[in-house]
Amino acid sequence: MKRIFLFVLTNIAVLLVLSISASLIMNFFGVQEIPGGFNLEALLIFAAVLGFGGSFISLAMSKWMAKKATGAQVIASPRGSAEQWLVDTVRRQAKQAGIGMPEVAIYEAPDINAFATGMSRNNALVAVSTGLLAAMDKDEAEAVLGHEISHVANGDMVTLALIQGVVNTFVIVLSRVIGYVVDRVILKNEREGLGIGFFVSSLIAQIVLGILASTIVMWFSRQREFRADAGGARLAGTGKMIAALERLKAAHEPAALPEQMAAFGISGGTKGGFARLFMSHPPLDERIARLKARQ
């Protein structure tokens, strides 16, 4: 898998740009100070439009961003038996899963990894690292591809975009409320209209709340990983899926994906404690245990 962290970071960036732009036309939406506080109904509408808009713009950009971040090269015409096997395997699994044929790509990286992303089940990208092709046998690689195809078939990117849209909406509302309190209560702005304190504090609050709220998206991502593992097991076989995860566990090379792409990879992280809240993948031991329990 390789979809989440880049998506979340892109979403935060897009949301900030939209927020700054939208702040200039807040009066148009009716989001303005009125006696007694905000027009909360208008604020909720404004936040939902902005929140879901930012999320789906990020989703629309996801495939392009993934290619740029990893340097993935789409296989237009297979060169050699390895690329032909890769394309044929993805085509077969996509047909089994009932989705359109994704673009298939390879990117240069020594670590064992792969990812899938895209705006819909029929407009997706599946990419694998050169490290995966070198280190895994065909059975293990087949299972990894099945895992990625399952992400596409399960509509995980759209699902997470919807979740992110809901999260964005609440972040925008809360950040505006915080901005209002800072402007009116702390800075004691008594002028007509909202002051600079509102705009600065609401943007800062939006960044902080956006990062904290990403833990919700990451929790959902971890649940989808278990489901994708199960899908990979159905497409390639449970034994192959377990073997692929055990191969990942045995690999000691540092992930060579750009940091912003790390959450989209098949391998995921191994951190615990507070850091676990920001993990897009469950620990490999947990994933292997889940699959073994299914045997």
Query: Catalytic residues, which ones?
Result: 148
* The two three-digit tokens of residue 196, written as one number: 């600079």
* The two three-digit tokens of residue 244, written as one number: 């692929």
Q: How does 66-86 read in b/e, with b if 16+ C-beta sit within 10 Å?
A: bbebbebeebeeeeeeeeeeb
Helix 81-97 × helix 138-153 angle, to 10°: 40
Please work out, in degrees rounded to the nearest 5, the angle formed at the alpha carbon of residue 269 by the alpha carbons of 264 and 271: 145
> Distance between CA atoms of 124 and 291, rounded to whole angstroms?
26
225 is in an annotated binding site: yes
> Distance between CA atoms of 273 and 261, rounded to whole angstroms?
22
147 is in an annotated binding site: yes
> Distance between CA atoms of 168 and 172, rounded to whole angstroms?
6
CA distances to 142, 170, 174, 186, 264 from 177, in Å: 50, 11, 5, 13, 33
Which residues are annotated as part of the binding site for Zn(2+)?
147, 151, 225
Which residues are annotated as part of the binding site?
147, 151, 225
